[in-house]
């Protein structure tokens, strides 16, 4: 080999090694770079603890939210249902400017405390902050359009009530986690009909079917609203009950409540006047007093000494329109004689009177699916004056629902029924319960109820509806106030039944503090306002309930 060759050989070898070394070095650098990026991703993922998964898991935890079955009326019409709605939350770690984000959010949600929200969004140690739950799709879109990083949405279950305030007192409400806090909603949880929510999945359970009829509810609500305007009443309430089964077909209290509006539940003027309020109901209680007298063997023609007012200590009991002569039991009822009712109670005795009220369920609290109900306000002892006042509806304050149930028993042949808001499936209703009065007493009560509507002198004559055999009794009670009663403020009521020859339904209508009008001749008595309101209601609901009109 030449000298040149020996010299050139080593140079060529070194030239071929250099590029390979550089390639290896470059590959190593790239690998290290990828490793660093991957390590950073792993670190971030570990630090975030799979935040989105954890947040969704936390928000849909079975311990937090319940999926609820639908609530429908007796005909399957929807009263309450769950829907999927977006809820807004924030990840403070991703919020770039907490002040700006808070200010812009409060423009959309004025109810939010801007200072509290700003502090929450600025707290980088937190990864989850609720902003607003249960947004409409339109509002969610407005939030999305803000374009603020760190504002995120998750679907949640929310309760909605298609009928609004109609039936609101009965349905109750749910809290932010869809848990029942009152009414039928609470009852659903008590019987285990709700279930832990998995994500935003809706309940697959069968609907809860109520005894209510939405059509009858609407008619009742509309007529009560009209009566409040017509008679300038401060409030109104009414119910319709099946006398054979105790099913509440309609129950309305005005002003109403919207189950979806939390503030409604806090307004004391929106109390459920049917099941949650106790009132001295006035002369409709004479139905009970006459029933007691008939149970003791009297007839409708038995005479009662009503020629003079009744004395009880410093009190004198008089009739509004005294006849100045003895009356029959029937006349005591039709003319609504306080003196006559007092005489019937005194002849029965305090022990018998109390036992009869207890038997009818008017002496203790009434529990239903909607609530436990308040205890009646009753006298601690029953002396002469208490006997007399109890006979015509003062001195004992009960819920209207209790009185309607007692009246149903008096109308259906004498068997006690338990009020219920749940639909009872079955064929022709058969009453099975404790007998509280005889069939004879019940028949005579139906007769005198009908007479009170058809007799020209009857206080209930304005409740008559041709073709539907309405029977009933008026009540006008001065409303209690501190230290006594307010003479110009009354609770006007009417207990009705139809068809009276073979009753299927009782109605109870109440008007709170009605004013005298030209149409009432300036009077505020129930015969002038609650009775004609009952007529309007029965005329509308009887066809809805399948009660045929008769040629009379």
- pLDDT at 21 (0 to 100): 67
Res 1: pLDDT: 42
Burial class (CB in 10 A: 0-12, 13-18, 19+), 39: exposed
pLDDT at 38: 57
Q: Is 277 helix (H, G, I), strand (E, B) or coil?
A: coil
Count Cα atoms within 13 angstroms, Cβ side, for 163: 25
152: which 2 tokens?
């995120």
What averages of pLDDT result for each successive group of 10 residues across the chain (552 residues)? 41 50 67 59 46 44 75 97 93 93 94 93 92 91 94 92 96 94 96 87 93 98 98 97 97 95 88 96 98 97 95 90 93 97 97 97 96 93 96 96 98 96 74 87 98 96 96 94 80 97 96 94 95 98 93 53
Q: Identify the DSSP state of 365.
A: -
Among residues 483, 528, 492, 530, the alpha carbon closest in space to that of 513 is found at: 492
Question: Of 534, 522, 514, 520, which is closest to residue 233 (Cα–Cα)?
Answer: 514
Distances 485 to 308, 394, 481, 524, 530 between C-alpha atoms, Å: 24, 11, 5, 15, 20
Q: Which residues are catalytic?
A: 283
Please state, in angstroms and rounded to a whole number, the distance separating the CA atoms of residues 169 and 250: 11
Instruction: For the domain covering 214-544, report its CATH number.
Output: 3.40.710.10
Domain ranges of the chain: 214-544
């Amino acid at each position: 080999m030449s000298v040149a060759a020996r010299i050139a050989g080593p140079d060529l070898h070194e030239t071929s090694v250099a590029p390979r070394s550089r390639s290896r070095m470059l590959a190593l650098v790239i690998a290290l770079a990828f490793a660093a990026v991957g390590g950073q991703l792993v670190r971030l993922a570990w630090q975030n603890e799979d935040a989105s998964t954890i947040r969704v898991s936390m928000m849909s935890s079975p311990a937090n939210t319940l999926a609820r079955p639908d609530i429908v009326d007796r005909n399957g019409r929807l009263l309450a249902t769950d829907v999927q709605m977006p809820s807004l939350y924030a990840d403070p770690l991703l919020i770039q400017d907490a002040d700006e984000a808070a200010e812009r959010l409060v423009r959309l949600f004025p109810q939010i405390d801007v200072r509290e929200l700003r502090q929450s969004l600025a707290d980088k140690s937190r990864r989850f902050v609720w902003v607003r739950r249960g947004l409409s799709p339109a509002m969610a879109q407005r939030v999305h359009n803000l374009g603020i990083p760190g504002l995120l949405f998750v679907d949640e279950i929310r309760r909605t009530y298609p009928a609004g305030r109609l039936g609101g007192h009965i349905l109750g409400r749910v809290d932010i986690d869809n848990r029942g806090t009152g009414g039928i909603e609470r009852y659903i949880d008590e019987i285990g009909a709700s279930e832990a929510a998995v994500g935003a999945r809706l309940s697959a359970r069968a609907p809860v079917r109520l005894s209510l009829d939405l059509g009858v509810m609407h008619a009742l609500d509309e007529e009560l609203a009209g009566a409040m305007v017509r008679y300038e009443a401060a409030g109104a309430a009414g119910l319709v009950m099946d006398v054979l089964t105790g099913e509440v077909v309609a129950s309305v209290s005005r002003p109403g409540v919207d189950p979806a509006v939390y503030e409604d539940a806090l307004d004391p003027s929106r109390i459920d006047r049917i099941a949650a309020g106790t009132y001295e109901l006035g002369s409709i209680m004479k139905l009970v007093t006459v029933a007691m007298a008939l149970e003791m063997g009297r007839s409708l023609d038995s005479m009662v000494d009503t020629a003079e007012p009744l004395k009880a200590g410093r009190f004198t009991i008089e009739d509004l329109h005294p006849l100045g002569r003895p009356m029959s039991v029937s006349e005591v009822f039709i003319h609504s004689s306080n003196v006559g009712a007092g005489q019937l109670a005194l002849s029965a005795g305090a022990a018998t009177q109390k036992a009869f009220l207890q038997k009818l369920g008017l002496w203790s609290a009434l529990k239903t699916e909607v609530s436990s109900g308040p205890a009646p306000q009753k006298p601690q002892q029953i002396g002469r004056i208490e006997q007399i006042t109890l006979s015509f509806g003062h001195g004992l304050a009960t819920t209207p629902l209790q009185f309607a149930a007692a009246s149903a028993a008096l109308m259906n042949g004498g068997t006690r029924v338990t009020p219920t808001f749940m639909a009872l499936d079955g064929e022709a209703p058969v009453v099975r319960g404790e007998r509280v009065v005889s069939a004879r007493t019940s028949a005579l009560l139906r007769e005198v109820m009908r007479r009170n509507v058809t007799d020209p002198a009857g206080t209930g004559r304005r409740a008559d509806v041709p073709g539907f055999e309405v029977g009933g009794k008026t009540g006008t009670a001065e409303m209690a106030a501190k230290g006594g009663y307010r003479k110009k403020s009354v609770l006007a009521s009417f207990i009705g039944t139809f068809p009276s020859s073979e009753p299927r339904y009782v109605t109870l209508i109440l008007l709170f503090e009605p004013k005298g009008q030209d149409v009432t001749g300036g009077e505020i008595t129930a015969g002038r306002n609650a009775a004609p309101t009952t007529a309007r209601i029965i005329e509308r609901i009887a066809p809805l309930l399948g009660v045929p009109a008769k040629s009379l």
